[in-house]
Amino acid sequence: MSLELTDVVLTYPDGERTLTALDHVGLTVAPGEFTAVVGPSGSGKSSLLAVAATLITPASGRVVVAGHEVSAASPAVRTRVRREHIGIVFQQPSLPASLTALDQLVVMAHLAGRSPREAAARARELLAAVDLSGKEHKRPHQLSGGERQRVNIARALMNRPGVLLVDEPTSALDHRRGELIVSLLAGLTRDNGLATVMVTHDLATLGLVGTVLTMADGRLGAADAVPAGRAATRP
């Protein structure tokens, strides 16, 4: 398994009490598996991704990423595992305004200490994979919302992660563009053998996903709450 969460509990301080954001959550995602997590706002979806991304350490439970147990690891180890094995796509693309699409990607390789020449080649290849050939030199304000989201996705893949974590990638897009993004994620997951977790409340695109799970009040379960015809299916 590329990603394995076992019995994870995450709490936040909430005044005098604590709020349980993840309530004994278990999740395993294999290479090439595209899993969606659906649930209402506040149900714990972003918290789940933050724990899987090693950005937050849970109160208890195990988090294993690409064979590395990170729940009890030092911040330095978590940062290394994140940089080497995890691609993260946040809800709103945070692309520096002054950088071209190509440089948004090249910077990632620079941070990981890779050679600039190899990085530029990889960046061009990824921009082509997300259908942005010819737009390499556009800056964020010269791209549409959907194009920016595709740059964001390509950037997350720059360091060849095994795990891709995606938070509400379609929330700022209309239905057709949202569907294009999800089908792009499905293709990238398959072609690169990624273990992908996409959090969404967009039920319309779930037909493109391999496994659908639901989140409610911090608990993760099978997709029986998903409308008929969109229930969990495995390829």
SS3 225: coil
Match 């039920």 to its residue by tokens. Answer: 203
For residue 42, with 0-12 CB atoms within 10 Å meaning exposed, 13-18 middle and 19 or more buried, which class applies?
Answer: middle
CB of 53 to ligand ADP, least distance (A): 12
Quick one: which of 28, 46, 57, 192 contacts Mg ion (CB under 5 A)? 46
Quick one: which of 3, 5, 21, 158 contacts ligand ADP (CB under 6 A)? 21
CB of 42 to Mg ion, least distance (A): 8
Of 3 and 49, which has the nearer Cβ to Mg ion?
Answer: 49
Residues 42-81 binding ligand ADP (CB under 6 A) are 42-47
Measured CA distances, 223 to 39, 135, 227, 229 (Å)? 10, 39, 9, 11
- Cβ contact 219:196 at 8 Å: no
CB of 56 to ligand ADP, least distance (A): 8
DSSP 172: T
Of 2 and 47, which has the nearer Cβ to ligand ADP?
Answer: 47
Q: Based on the shown chain and the rule CB under 6 A, indicate whether residue 19 belongs to the binding site for ligand ADP.
A: yes
Smallest CA-to-CA distance from 106 within 90, 123, 93, 89 is with 123
Q: Which does 43 bind (CB under 5 to 8 A by kind): ligand ADP, Mg ion, none?
A: ligand ADP
The residue sitting closest to Mg ion, measured at its beta carbon, is 46
For residue 119, give every residue at least 6 positions away whose Cβ sits within 8 Å of its Cβ, in sequence order, or none. 105, 106, 108, 109, 110, 158
Binding residues vs Mg ion (CB under 5 A) = 45-46
Binding residues vs ligand ADP (CB under 6 A) = 12, 19, 21, 39, 41-47
